[in-house]
Structure 1
């Protein structure tokens, strides 16, 4: 009796959370599967990202900064991405408040000629990302709704697995495969779609929901890191420069020497993203991409902005070779979330799982409606008789 009551409580929680978050989960799942192949789709029209290689060095970081600020004045530069000899330099402008400003300027790395300006928050994928992160609502409201809906979806998946578990051995076959024939009604088919399909994608769905929660909640991120044995600072920390030196206005800043040095040191790197020091005391950050399309194995290097002496960080975001198991798990979180960790096969899996996750609220609501409709009709029939 007690076990039966527990099952009823779990079913009620599953139903209430499912009905409450169904629409949000559907939107987040659909936009998620659309986002997965963003890079592959954009490759069909990214000619502006390439230039004719010249037998000369790239323009210095300070020169690039000056040119980019002429294209987009009075905005903060997030970073400058130096790629291969045939790739344009991308200058990323980003401001989080009062409203998100996220633009990219592409320049010829040899001449500084302007190639193209992109509003990363606009266009099809900008629209998709806004829906995925905040349901196209103001960030303060939409992101909160999405975050808690993903957390509830995690609970829905766990409760769904408990409810799926057969009460006796006779029901195992029924829970593991479709047993349809010409007489099977749509309600039965919908029930199987919700339970059988839900079971088979539940493990992957839990991974997507869990990694989503890691990105959505700082407390969840911290618990996940510590639970895997993490002992470093799990946040991103830019250390202070060790020296103090005033650079004259017309004097070449020391960080201009960094990129040429790094090209010689990291010969297999895919690109380098240099972040200008925020003030007179912070260090210079350079992100070294070691694999195309992957983020977890990047090297985060910090240099004294005056002497270019390399500075160690207490954060998990340092050199990948120094990362411990817990550090790697957290750093892999985004790559796991979008499936890129498994290459093209991983992306296909992430796409399919996201698409199927979008179907679960639909079949769940139809299941709830079907049962309620059946009960209503039965009640009416009894009343007439």
Structure 2
């Protein structure tokens, strides 16, 4: 009982410190889960009539991109299905700039533009990862709060665990009567719902921590027997040969389309320096990224270069590589398809109720209504 009292005090203290952060992260997580499905319903899809003429090359797209934003860093160009526009992505870390242009694949006309940091989902993302605060403040606050929340999940199980087996049934079912007060109902909501979702909430929280803390990421990877570098890194190229008349990067699209006729998307990343390889990312399955292929090519000769990270051709991935590559898809529920997303949505939603019900428990105990004194107590006070 002494241990439980100490755990209870710790649980309350940590909850008061992190409750608001957990609430915001959970609610924004609910919204983010169905991002692609909501966008498909609310945005008009752009369909391009398929022509026999060749698609614009990465070099041609690059010229269009520099004309639109001359001083912005181009991240890559995405070729999707035959009737879809080409997507050109800009990304800069500092100052943050994350835009996409949707370009007609035959004429080069810019059909649409998207600011990924603006609009509804841009706002949701900024709230989820940094509480709409500056990155230097918000991101550490979120990651440490979620780490504390994981500790709270374990302390919550210790507090939930009944002293006697006969009381176990009371911790598993709601047994409300017309006379049951709101405080009891609030306690049951906190304890019983918390018990049922704690396992899945732990998975969602921990996968978030893997993306937030490098030491957790490496601990998981090497703990599973991984031998590669778990951090994203583009290898250096091998050749110093003079480029051909036609830029080598333009030949990659045809090569990848032949090799991946069923691929969903082919993203060609422009080299940041003369020494970097060209990265080609092939998304094989719509809605998930864990089984994508990452291939690296010499930007002058197109000789394939072997990387030493987990981001490689998926067929070369070992158990530890696969687990880490699945991390994001697990975090958003996409690993289980639409059913997995529904589960992730409700787990996030119910997780958001825990700080609320926990605060009401704390507030109710600190502000108890003074009970009315009995007539005997009043007489005793009068005689004093």
What is the SS of the residue equivalent to 2:147?
Answer: helix
Distance of 1:49 and 1:63 partners within structure 2: 21
- Return the offset for 1:50: 2.7
Measured after TM superposition, the shift of residue 247 of structure 1 is: 3.8
8 Å contact 2:79–2:267 — kept in the other structure? yes
Cα distance change, pair 278–181 in 1 and its aligned pair in 2 (3 A): same
Contact 2:266-2:282 at 8 Å conserved across structures: yes
CA distance in 2, matches of 1:76, 1:252: 23
Separation in 1, partners of 2:100, 2:234: 23
Q: How does 1:18-97 map to 2 (within 5 A)?
A: 18-47=15-44, 49-97=46-94
Match of 2:117 in 1: 121
The aligned residue for residue 323 of structure 2 is 329
* Contact 2:243–2:301 (Cα < 8 Å) also in 1: no
SS in 2 for 1:310: coil
Determine whether 1:156 maps to 2:152.
yes
Aligned mates of 1:270, 1:241 — CA distance in 2: 27
Question: Is 1:377 matched up with 2:377?
Answer: no
Mapped pair 1:7 → 2:4 = yes
Deviations 1:232-281 (A, max 9, x none): 11111211111113448xx4311110001110111110010100111111
Gaps of 5+ in 2: none
User: Contact 2:277–2:296 at 8 Å: present in 1 too?
Assistant: yes
Tell me the CA shift for residue 163 of structure 1.
1.1
Instruction: Report if the CA contact (8 A) 1:48-1:115 is conserved.
Output: no
Structure 2 CA distance, aligned partners of 1:45 and 1:83?
A: 20
Equivalent residue, structure 2, for 1:361? 355
> How much does 1:45 deviate?
4.1
Q: Residue 140 of structure 2 is aligned with which of 126, 141, 144? A: 144
1:202 and 2:195 equivalent? no
Distance 1:45 1:213 in 2: 31
The C-alpha deviation readout for 1:100-129, integer Å capped at 9, x for no partner, is: 100001101122111111111100110111
Pick from 305, 312, 316 the counterpart of residue 306 of structure 2: 312
SS for the counterpart of 1:274 is: strand
Distance, in Å, in 1 between the alignment partners of 2:208 and 2:309 is 21
Distance 1:380 1:216 in 2: 55
Aligned to 2:254: 260
Q: Which residue number corresponds to residue 237 of structure 1?
A: 233
Runs (4+) off by over 6 Å: 378-384
Write the distance in 1 (CA, Å) between the matches of 2:73 and 2:335. 31
CA contact (8 A) 1:48 1:116 kept: no
Instruction: Indicate the RMSD between aligned Cα atoms, in angstroms.
Output: 1.8
Structure 2 Cα separation of the partners of residues 199 and 309 of structure 1: 54
Q: Deviations over 1:195-235 (max 9, x none)?
A: 00000001110001100111111111111111222111111
SS in 2 for 1:311: coil
State the 1:12 CA deviation: 1.4
Tell me how far 1:377 sits from its aligned partner. 3.4
What is residue 344 of structure 2 aligned with on the other side? Answer: 350
Equivalent residue number for residue 280 of structure 1: 274
Structure 1 residue 48 displacement after superposition: 5.1
- What secondary structure sits across from 1:253 in the alignment? coil
1:11 is displaced (CA, Å) by 1.2
Q: Distance in 2 between matches of 1:195 and 1:105?
A: 48
Could you tell me the TM-score, scaled by structure 2's length? Answer: 0.95
**Alpha-carbon separation, structure 1, partners of 2:273 and 2:352:** 45
Kindly state the Cα deviation for residue 9 of structure 1 after the two structures are TM-superposed: 1.7
Match of 2:103 in 1: 107
- TM-score scaled by length of structure 1: 0.95
* Equivalent position SS for 2:367: helix
